[in-house]
Structures are given as C-alpha cells and as structure tokens.
Structure 1
Amino acid sequence: MRHITVPALHCPFEAKISPFVHEIDRHTASWLQEFNLLQTDEAYDRFRRYKFAWMTARTYPDADLAFLCTANDLNTWLFVLDDLLDHVTPDTAGYREKGYLQQVITDFVRVLRYDQSVDRSVNPVLAALSDFWNNMRPLSSVSWQCQFTLSLKATFEAAVWEAENAKLRRHPSVFQYMQMRPFFSGANLGTDMLEVAAGTYLPVFVLQNEQFQKLVDLARRAVCWANDLFSLSKELAHGDEHNLVVVIGHEQQITLEEAIAQTAAIHNQEIAMFNQLRTQLPSFGLPIDSAIQRHVDALGTMVRGFMDWSIYDTARYHFDYTAS
C-alpha cells in the first residue's frame, strides 16, 4: 500500500465525543451479527477495528443513545455496501452493473416509502435497512422522512454514475466529480441525520434558503475532501480512481504529491468559505436564528468529528498526518 502523507487541514471547530460511544459500539456489533451482514469472522473483527461508533459519537456528540445507535447502524450499513461496491471480485462484479444497482435503488426506496418490513432470511441487507427505518421513524418527522428517502435515492443514483465510470474506465472532470462526490459518499445522508441529532427542526423556508443550503453543501464537501485524502492509499490499492486527488492529477497531469497539496488547499479554502458565509446568513427572527446557529455549530462539529475519527480512531485508513 502506497505511503501517503496528508498535509495539515484547517478545521477550527469544537471537538466533542458522546459519552455513549462504548454502548453504541456494542449495539452495532450485535446488530451486524443479527442481520448477518458480513461473511466471515475476520470481516467482523475488521469492522470492529474500524470503530464506526467513534465516528458517530464524534459527529453527533450531543444526541441521545437511541438516535446514536440507530445512526451508527446506518453508517455501518453504508460502509458494508461501500466495501461491496469498491472491492469488486469476479464473483461480485454484478454488484456494479447498472441494472442491478437500479433494482437496489427501487428496493431501498420501497422499504422507506412504504415502511416495508423485510425478513432477514430473505434479504439481510434490505432487512437491516428496514430495521433502521423502523427505529428512525419514531425519532423524526414525516417531512424529514420524505426528504431522507429522496436523499437515499440520490446517494445510490450517484453510485450508479460512479459504477458506470469505473466499468467504462471513464474519467470524470474535476467539476463533475466535485458535484457528485457528496452524494455517492453519503455525505448528504450525514447532514440529513444531523437535523434529528441536533433537534433543530428548521422551517422549510430556512432549509431551502440558498445561503443556508450552501453552508450545508460546504460542510458535506469538507468531509469528502478530507476523506479523499485519508482514504487515498486504500483506494489506490484497490484501483479506485474516484478520489479528488486522482481526478485532479489525471486532469492536470501533475504528480500525486502536487494533487494531494491541491486537494488539501481546496479543503482549507472551503472551510474558510463556510466560516465566512455563516456570518452572512439572513435573519429570520430570534428563535429561528438561534436554532440556525445551533445547526451551523453542529455542522462544524460534524466536520471536525469525521476528521478526528479518521486521524485518531479508525484502522480503516493508513496515512501520516502533518498536524498544523
């Protein structure tokens, strides 16, 4: 595996972690076994070393235990699917076929839209999604559930785009990649879950405000660019070229080290944009403005939480980090 050194990343947000982290970890370890989502004991051990509970506890540190267990189930489920799609073998090549993925999207949306229950003996992946949804619905509003369903659909539609690129050996432009990455990474789902975790329940006219949406997008993008740096050696080892470093390097015909530096610079520039834009939001009146401030603070904590998990907790990625 190629040795990667990640430059210092600007992330001036509060670092926090939930006191429930060990309870979350035990819960999801049992949940994975209950739905038989991994195939070998070695795979279960590997997922425990990835410490997804620490990621969830850092990104939603003030949420209650019921939400955190449910959110960590979702995060872990998404990583299980990510590994299936990224680590393709001759036996699993069909997972990247467009027709297969489109049927997957239909099945996932049906579970969420119709609150469908699925027996784990029939389809463990769908059954696990159904269990997540059964636990999530009492914690959330109907309008949030509608939005989350659309977000899940967007995530897997973007996964179809990624899979088609890989199959055809088609290189996306930097612009295309930066538009699509927050969706096939599931970062859109992370910010959707934040609304429930933070308990802010902002009005639709705030959620649809252009400046507020830009803040949310910048937070998603910051997570993605940091992840592209932290996961680079892993993805190079698997021949996965859907990484901003690789895309920049291919488009500009520059060295890997130069592309790493550019990716870090983009991350830092967009964090600066986030901090500037948060001071320029319009006022909607004191009660709503207070909720917006809590939500924006939570976005910053989420960005910092993912970074700290990647640097200090998980064994999923291998890199050296140059602290500022």
Structure 2
Amino acid sequence: MAKTMAVPPTYAPIPSAIHPHHAAVNAGTAVWAEKFGIGSTELRSRLVRQDIGTFAARILPEGQDEVVSLLADFVLWLFGVDDGYCEESELGHRPGELAGVLQRLVRVAQNPEVTFLLDDPLANGLRDLRLRVSRYGTVGQTARWVDALREYYLSVAWEAEFRRTKTVPDLNDYTLMRLYDGATTVVFPLLEMGHEYELQSHERDQEAVRAAGEMASLIITWDNDIFSHHKESRGSGYYLNVIRVLTHEYGLSQRQALTRAIAQRDRVMVLFLRLREALLEQASPQLRQYLHSLGTFVRGSQDWGISSLRYTTPEDPASLPSTFRETPTDASDEPLDIPAISWWWNLLPPGTAPQGHQAPRQAEPVPA
C-alpha cells in the first residue's frame, strides 16, 4: 500500500463556530435519510456516520434551527447524488445518460408536483427539500436555488466525461468546473434563508460580491480536495482532484502538488479577506451578514473536513492536521496563473492594504 501523505495545518484566519443545537441537527438528518431511503443501505449507513449535521451547524452557527436542519438534509442528499450516481456507479461514466437523470431531477426541483420519479428515493427527498426551501425562502431565493442546482448538475456531467475517458483536465478547466461541482453555490441561498433576509440584486449581482462567493467556493473545494485526497487515491475507481490535476499539469510529485495547492488556496484566502473588508465599507446589513456567512462556510468546511469520518477514514487512517496555522504559506498579491479566476485580483480598490492574519470584522445583526 502507498505511503500516507501527511497534510500540514492549513491557514484558518476565520474564527471557528458551531450552532448550539448541532447534536439534534445531526440526529435529525439521520432520521431524514432513513425516512426517504437516500442511497443504498450501505451508502446511507456510511453517510449518517459522517457528521453531516455538524457540518451544516458550522456553516450556519447562528442560523434559524429549521434552515440548519434543511441544510444538513440537503448536504446529505447531495452526497447521495455525488457518491451514489457520480462516483460509485456506472452512471458516473456515462455523461449523456447522467445528464438526463439529473435534468429530470431539476424538473422535480422546479415543480415538485410532477408525476414522474414517484418511486425514486432521491427524487422524493428532493421534493421534500424543495417544499422546505419554499417555506423558508422567498420566490426569488427558491428560483436561485433551483438555478444553482442546474449549474451543479451541468458541472458533474462535464466531470463525468473525464471519468469516462480516464483523462485529466487542465488546471483552468478544472478550476472552472470546481466552482460549481462542489455544490457550494447551491448552499448560498440557504445562507440568506438561515438569517431570514434576502440579499437584494443590486448588491448580490455586483461583480465583486459574486467574486467573493467564487473565492469562498474555491477555498472550500481546494480544502475538500486536499482533505479527501487520501480516501480518493486509495479507492479502486477513477478520481479527480486538484492534487492530481497539478501533478499532471506541471509534472510535480504528489507532495509538491499538495504544497502548491495549499499555496493557491492561501493566496485566494488572503484576497478573499481583503475584498470582503473593502466590500464591508459600504455594505447594507444584509450584505454584511452574507459576507460573514461566506466566512463561516469556509471555516466550517475546514473544521468538518479534518474531523469527519468521511475523510479521516479510520479503517485506513488519513494523516490530516488536528490544528490550523495563523499565517498563510503564500500571501502574494499577484494573480494566480489561472485565466478563469485571475480577474479576481483586479477587483481590489487601489491602496487596499493586505489583511495578513487579522481577525475578520464581524457582521452586524440584520434588521427583521
């Protein structure tokens, strides 16, 4: 068996937090998964041991209880799709057929009253999720959730083509795909619902605000790739993550690729903090809360990633860190050489000072 590659502590400037009812959320998600029969018995048993409710409780540490539970159930459902359809079945090697299956699920999300897939556990779980999204969100938030789900589906069908051909995309294409196939954007509307506000379009659609969300997505998915590499590389099937892509792109060893991936996520983290600080200067209370929630999403993913059985894999232990570092390995203000995202570095106002490892500004309460 290949030697285990130790992952060093990663840069974590955002404070850790967790919802006080995290244990109840975690237990409730296990009940929900059994009620709808998400995935096979083996997959469902595995998912309910991965503390997915705790993950949701870290993403929304001060969120409305019902939305934290909704988020937890939704994340478990997403893993049911990702593991059950994409990673561990033949369907994940047939992009055209997979796209058709996922498009039918999009229709269920758009119109849960449709009279097909009535015996499909994932479709029925999605019907329940969609009705709850409508209950706690506005019409606009529900529409954006469905649109983000479609983006996620498109990207995983794209990924399936690489799985079919057993090829590795270049770094630019992988980065673009990863902004969506990690399903981070499908969580963004729930960040608003969890605090009972709706971010208005004149703020949400600003290029800099969209970029802040994309930066959070990259940090979260790079961290996921770093923490999951041990599990994925030990499996018998095809796997794709940033370490493999960097190894292929630059002819690096796995250790060198890990070091570069950490440097990339650190450089984006530094930029995220600087851009967020600049946006806060003239932000509404709603935008301040949204930017704060992007931060708790990033930190919650880090905390969960190094502690969940999904990645620690005790049957073949991964060498993951138990702590984080206070300074970045790369604090350069030069853009990464990735065309899909290099424009992010043009968004900082002139004279914006580097954040270093200062604690981020806290959000103000959102008016009821």
**Same fold at TM > 0.5:** yes
Partner of 2:98: 101
Q: Output the CA distance in 2 between the equivalents of 1:291 and 1:60.
A: 15
Offset of residue 117 of structure 1: 5.8
Offset of residue 199 of structure 1: 3.1
Structure 1 counterpart of 2:299, which letter? R
Partner of 1:292: 287
Partner of 1:276: 274
- 1:62 to 2:67 alignment: no
Partner of 1:82: 82
User: Which structure is higher in helix share?
Assistant: 1
Which residue, 163, 187, 191 being the options, matches 2:188? 191
Residue deviations 1:129-173 (CA, integer Å, cap 9, x gap): 001111111100111111111110110110110001110122210
**SS of the counterpart of 1:63?**
coil
CA contact 1:86–1:240 (8 Å) conserved in 2:
no
TM normalised by structure 2 equals 0.81
User: Which deviates the most, 128-137 or 43-52?
Assistant: 43-52
Q: Output the CA distance in 1 between the equivalents of 2:191 and 2:222.
A: 19
Counterparts in 2 of 1:173 and 1:19: CA distance versus 1, 3 Å? same
Counterparts in 2 of 1:17 and 1:201: CA distance versus 1, 3 Å? same
Partner of 1:320: 319
Larger RCO, structure (CA 8 Å, separation 6 or more) = 1
CA contact 1:200–1:292 (8 Å) conserved in 2:
no
**Counterparts of 1:105-254 in structure 2 under 5 Å?**
105-116=102-113, 122-238=119-235, 239-254=237-252
Structure 2 counterpart of 1:229, which letter? I
CA contact 1:7–1:264 (8 Å) conserved in 2:
no
User: Which deviates the most, 202-211 or 238-247?
Assistant: 238-247
Offset of residue 78 of structure 1: 0.5
CA RMSD of aligned residues (A): 2.0
Partner of 2:30: 29
Q: Output the CA distance in 1 between the equivalents of 2:27 and 2:116.
A: 23
Q: Output the CA distance in 2 between the equivalents of 1:43 and 1:166.
A: 21
- 1:307 to 2:302 alignment: yes
CA contact 2:185–2:217 (8 Å) conserved in 1:
yes
User: 5+ residue gaps in structure 1?
Assistant: none
Structure 1 counterpart of 2:31, which letter? S
Counterparts in 2 of 1:265 and 1:118: CA distance versus 1, 3 Å? farther
CA contact 1:21–1:54 (8 Å) conserved in 2:
yes
Residue deviations 1:196-223 (CA, integer Å, cap 9, x gap): 1233421101111011111111111110
Counterparts in 2 of 1:273 and 1:263: CA distance versus 1, 3 Å? same
Structure 1 counterpart of 2:148, which letter? S
**SS of the counterpart of 1:224?**
helix
User: Between the two proteins, what is the percent identity of the paired residues?
Assistant: 24
**SS of the counterpart of 1:279?**
helix
Q: Output the CA distance in 2 between the equivalents of 1:200 and 1:225.
A: 29
Q: Output the CA distance in 2 between the equivalents of 1:201 and 1:56.
A: 20
**SS of the counterpart of 1:321?**
coil
**SS of the counterpart of 1:154?**
helix
Counterparts in 2 of 1:282 and 1:54: CA distance versus 1, 3 Å? closer
Structure 2 counterpart of 1:321, which letter? L
Q: Output the CA distance in 2 between the equivalents of 1:43 and 1:157.
A: 24
CA contact 1:200–1:294 (8 Å) conserved in 2:
no
Partner of 2:11: 10
Offset of residue 124 of structure 1: 1.0
Counterparts in 2 of 1:235 and 1:154: CA distance versus 1, 3 Å? same
CA contact 1:13–1:304 (8 Å) conserved in 2:
yes
Offset of residue 107 of structure 1: 1.3
TM normalised by structure 1 equals 0.91
Residue deviations 1:7-59 (CA, integer Å, cap 9, x gap): 2211211211111112212211111111112323x444322321101100011
**Counterparts of 1:33-44 in structure 2 under 5 Å?**
33-40=34-41, 42-44=42-44
- 1:262 to 2:263 alignment: no
Counterparts in 2 of 1:118 and 1:283: CA distance versus 1, 3 Å? farther
Counterparts in 2 of 1:43 and 1:98: CA distance versus 1, 3 Å? closer
Q: Output the CA distance in 2 between the equivalents of 1:64 and 1:281.
A: 25
Structure 1 counterpart of 2:320, which letter? Y
Residue deviations 1:41-83 (CA, integer Å, cap 9, x gap): x444322321101100011111122111111111000011111
Q: Output the CA distance in 2 between the equivalents of 1:269 and 1:237.
A: 29
Q: Output the CA distance in 2 between the equivalents of 1:84 and 1:195.
A: 29
Q: Output the CA distance in 2 between the equivalents of 1:87 and 1:170.
A: 15
Counterparts in 2 of 1:206 and 1:317: CA distance versus 1, 3 Å? same
Offset of residue 120 of structure 1: 8.1
CA contact 1:4–1:232 (8 Å) conserved in 2:
no
